[in-house]
Structure formats: structure tokens, C-alpha cells
Amino acid sequence: MTAKIDLPNLEDDFNDSPISGANASLTLIVKQISAAVKLPMAMPKGKRREALERYLALFTEDKIALFMVKLSKSIYVKNPKFSIDFMVRNDLVNTLLTGSIEASKVSKYYNVKIMHV
């Protein structure tokens, strides 16, 4: 099952751009991140772009989709310093998908595990 997320105006923007293949999926992911954190995100260039590609290649599409949902509900939504670079450097996909840092943040006494049902 693929998690759903509201992506405002994504379809329109996306259809306007003449992109295809791997570029298209990378562009789509950047747009999804942008929508999730409600901040405009530019496509990284050069080495940063390569790092992003390498990082995303570690995950399945389903995992990325779930990550978008978690990201949109995470503390990063309110962080104006959030960037794609930050996401890659801090391994946010794994951070958000294992151990729900938000739930654990509620109290130091908790250590929340995640179970996909």
C-alpha cells in the first residue's frame, strides 16, 4: 500500500516541465519534499544532486512515500533551515521511519518502535 499525501499544485507544475525518466522522478521527489515541509525547495546541483540521487537510491518507492507523510507531520515542517542537503546529511528517511522521533520526543521515558500494518 502506498501512503497518500496532499501535494498542492504539484500535478500542474509537473506537467509544465519537459522532463522525463530519472530526472522526472528526482524532480517529483524534490517537489514532494517541498510540499511536505511547506517550503520552496530548489533542485540541488552538482555534487549535492549526486549525493541526493545516491541517498534516494537506498530506498524503495513505498518507503519514500511513507517518508513524505512522516516528514509532513514532523518538526522539520517548522524549521526554516530545512534543506535537501540537511535531509541527506542527517539520514532523515531512516530517522523518521525507524523510531518515530516525534513520538519519542514526548518524553525521555519512551522509546517508540514502529510497526507497519
Q: Which residues form the interface with other proteins (CB under 8 A)?
A: 1-3, 62, 65-66, 69, 100, 103, 106-117
C-beta of 3 vs 7, nearer to other proteins = 3
**How crowded is the C-beta side of 59, counted as CA atoms within 13 Å?**
20
C-beta of 9 vs 111, nearer to other proteins = 111
**Would you say 43 and 74 are in contact if contact means Cβ atoms under 8 Å apart?**
no
Tell me which DSSP letter residue 86 carries: H
Tell me the closest approach of the beta carbon of residue 73 to other proteins, in angstroms: 10
Tell me the closest approach of the beta carbon of residue 116 to other proteins, in angstroms: 5
Tell me the closest approach of the beta carbon of residue 43 to other proteins, in angstroms: 27
H helix runs in 17-107, sequence order: 21-37, 46-56, 61-72, 84-89, 92-97, 101-105
- The residue count of the chain comes to 117
**Would you say 89 and 95 are in contact if contact means Cβ atoms under 8 Å apart?**
no
Tell me the closest approach of the beta carbon of residue 117 to other proteins, in angstroms: 5
C-beta of 2 vs 79, nearer to other proteins = 2
